[in-house]
């Protein structure tokens, strides 16, 4: 059966200040995990979940993302002439079907909620996914995080978020669920944006994967036009909370390991983890790691 979730939004307008100077002239979403940029992992996850249209919310200096998913005729001609079959295939696998990608400019960096609002005319009246490239989820041999969420959406229609348990002292970095019932899927009565550890209603944090109803654009629209911001930004979690209880909120406890590639440590961890999954890299890397005085 064809999924009802056919579109995904990729907010890629951030400045990537935590990775300066590397991101001064390069989008942070183009930082590579081994030999593939973060944004390609995100797009491939969407494709694995049956997503048909990818909508990128971009900003200034992000043209490299659009170029990455386009034909590079000179490069492909050179690889073909030199019989570099494997390299040619790796370049071609990132090229989408014609008309399946759209790019929208977010002029002002007013937060994740504002980025989602910028895609409202392309979403229409149907549920959609949101994927943040900073969060990379590894699940070797299994379904991607978004594919698991799309499957869950068939039984838990509403606002779906991917959830992980975090340390109590880390709650101020996440949206945190106020959990009403905990089972295979979390049912939440509320979500709080970046609460202090002493005020956090739980340790269940929201990471960068969402499936949302089009009704989310109503509170986002009100926030945009009335400057309703949290910490100077229009927060997506505030809009999700505004839909409760009419639109229920569920936390999906997915299979896989999440790496926070918005942090330098998480980015390095992801590179090591993904490299160890590559047969041609695993043994040399293990040998090198053993030489370190850890």
3-state SS assignment for residue 65: helix
Residue-level pLDDT at 95: 74
Nearest to 150 by CA among 128, 133, 180: 128
Nearest to 240 by CA among 85, 65, 116, 97: 116
Domain 7-291 sits in CATH 3.90.550.10: yes
Q: Are 122 and 105 in contact (CB under 8 A)?
A: no
DSSP category for residue 45: H
Residue-level pLDDT at 230: 54
Q: Are 240 and 216 in contact (CB under 8 A)?
A: yes
Residue-level pLDDT at 2: 59
What is the spatial distance between Cα 155 and Cα 190, in angstroms, rounded to a whole number?
A: 20
Q: Are 209 and 164 in contact (CB under 8 A)?
A: no
From first to last of its 294 residues, the chain has per-residue pLDDT tens of 557 899 999 999 888 889 989 999 899 999 999 999 999 999 999 999 999 999 999 988 889 999 888 877 677 768 777 777 777 777 667 777 777 899 999 888 789 999 999 999 999 999 999 999 999 999 998 999 999 999 999 999 899 999 999 999 999 999 999 999 888 899 999 999 999 999 999 999 999 999 999 999 999 999 888 765 555 688 999 999 999 999 999 999 999 999 999 999 999 999 999 999 999 999 999 999 999 977
Residue-level pLDDT at 229: 53
Q: Where are the domains of the chain?
A: 7-291
Residue-level pLDDT at 36: 94
Nearest to 206 by CA among 258, 242, 155: 258
Only one residue has tokens 């081994």, namely 34
Helix (H) or strand (E) holding 145: helix 145-153
Tokens describing residue 69: 């998913």
């Amino acid at each position: 059966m064809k999924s009802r979730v056919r579109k995904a939004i990729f907010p890629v307008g951030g400045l990537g200040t935590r990775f300066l100077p590397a991101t001064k002239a390069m989008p942070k979403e183009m930082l590579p995990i081994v030999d593939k940029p973060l944004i390609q992992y995100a797009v491939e996850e969407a494709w694995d979940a049956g997503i048909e249209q990818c909508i990128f919310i971009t900003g200034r200096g992000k043209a490299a993302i659009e170029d990455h998913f386009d034909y590079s005729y000179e490069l492909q001609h050179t690889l073909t002439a030199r019989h570099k079959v494997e390299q040619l295939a790796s370049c071609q696998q990132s090229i989408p079907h014609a008309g399946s990608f759209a790019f929208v400019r977010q002029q002002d960096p007013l937060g994740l909620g504002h980025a989602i609002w910028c895609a409202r005319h392309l979403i229409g009246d149907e549920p959609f996914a949101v994927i943040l490239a900073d969060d990379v989820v590894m699940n070797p041999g299994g379904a991607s995080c978004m594919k698991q969420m799309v499957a869950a959406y068939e039984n838990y229609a509403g606002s779906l978020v991917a959830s992980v348990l975090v340390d109590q002292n880390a709650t101020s970095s996440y949206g945190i669920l106020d959990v009403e019932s905990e089972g295979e899927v979390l049912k939440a009565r509320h979500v709080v944006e970046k609460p202090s550890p002493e005020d956090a209603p739980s340790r269940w944090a929201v990471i960068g994967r969402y499936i949302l109803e089009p009704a989310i654009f109503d509170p986002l629209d009100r926030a945009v036009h009335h400057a309703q911001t949290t910490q100077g930004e229009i927060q997506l979690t505030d809009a999700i909370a505004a839909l409760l209880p009419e639109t229920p909120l569920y936390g999906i406890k997915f299979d896989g390991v999440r790496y926070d590639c918005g942090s330098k440590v998480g980015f390095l961890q992801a590179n090591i983890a993904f490299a160890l999954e590559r047969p041609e890299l695993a043994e040399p890397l293990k040998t090198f790691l053993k030489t370190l005085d850890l």
